[in-house]
Amino acid sequence: MSFTGKNIVAGALVATALATSAHAAEKKLTGDISIAATSSYFYQGVHQEDSGLILQPAVNLNFSLFSDGNGVVKSLDLNAGLWNSIHSSNTGVAGGADKDSLYETDYTFGLTANLGDKIELSVGFADLTSPNNAFGTVQEIRVGAQLICQDVCGGKISKFNPRIDVVFETSGTAVGTDEGIGVNLSINPELTFLNDFAVKGLTASLPVRVGLGFDDYYRTAAGGDETFGYLDAGVDFELPLNNVMPAGYGQWTLNTGVHGIYLNDNLERVNRGDNFEVYGFVGLKLAF
């Protein structure tokens, strides 16, 4: 249930179906497996944990339902996912027993469509649960749209990809006191000019995300409703490990990054009076 900083042992099946062509030899099922460690876990700007061990294993499965290189709809994919967050500090558990370290398990299902190689649309359902009963189950409908932009600024930015994601809480609330609507606006420019100065294959990106809330999404018992929720920005790096890992076992990458997150007044109270926090992560990913 985290946004940019989902931390502490996590396991997930998150679906992002990739477009496949009509060629019989092309894959109909793709995915990836990853694990990450991060120093803080925020969901939609809401502080969850920033102490102890935070790991984030994930598995993404992508099922191609339709692909047409000549049509307006280039592809239609089925997405299914599972994500777990395990906290060594036993978040939300009085006394903290080891068996209660599984703080969160999320299930996601959805569809992704690519239109004309420039627009990606998605719709899905998320079920956010807490095995150690630290919070009540939250169910969401998620709708997203992304503009696929490449070779911006004379090729110095290989990818830009502005995106909007809208979260409709249908049962329970992950943030305030009432069900509401959350909106995330994000960009993730990927820089190419660093390739001349850094390790071969290394890519750097500057992700920026703004979280907004409507219809009581960020309303808390201690404060009123607020439209602005948080601003998260940082620098991420990705390094392919094809020359390190054995051939024939998929594509391996090493990921790391440092982010800063600024919170509104209500979220500041949840974060123990701090309206700004810096966190970092490091992870390993296998794509197949």
The upper half-sphere exposure of residue 233, i.e. CA atoms within 13 Å in the direction of its Cβ, equals 7
What letter represents residue 112's amino acid? T
> pLDDT of the chain along its 288 residues, tens only?
644 444 433 333 333 333 333 344 578 999 989 999 999 999 999 999 999 998 888 888 999 998 877 778 899 999 999 998 888 987 876 654 455 788 888 999 999 999 987 899 999 999 999 998 889 999 999 999 999 887 665 556 677 889 999 999 999 998 777 899 999 999 999 876 555 555 667 889 999 999 999 998 998 766 678 899 999 999 999 998 987 877 788 899 999 999 999 999 989 988 888 999 999 999 999 998
The DSSP output letter for 100 is: G
12: in domain: no
Print the domain residue range for 65: 29-287
**pTM, two decimal places:** 0.83
In a domain, 14, yes or no: no
In this structure, the strands spanning 41-43 and 119-129 are unpaired
17 inside domain: no
In a domain, 18, yes or no: no
In the chain, the number of structural domains is 1
Q: What is the CATH number of the domain that holds 187?
A: 2.40.160.40
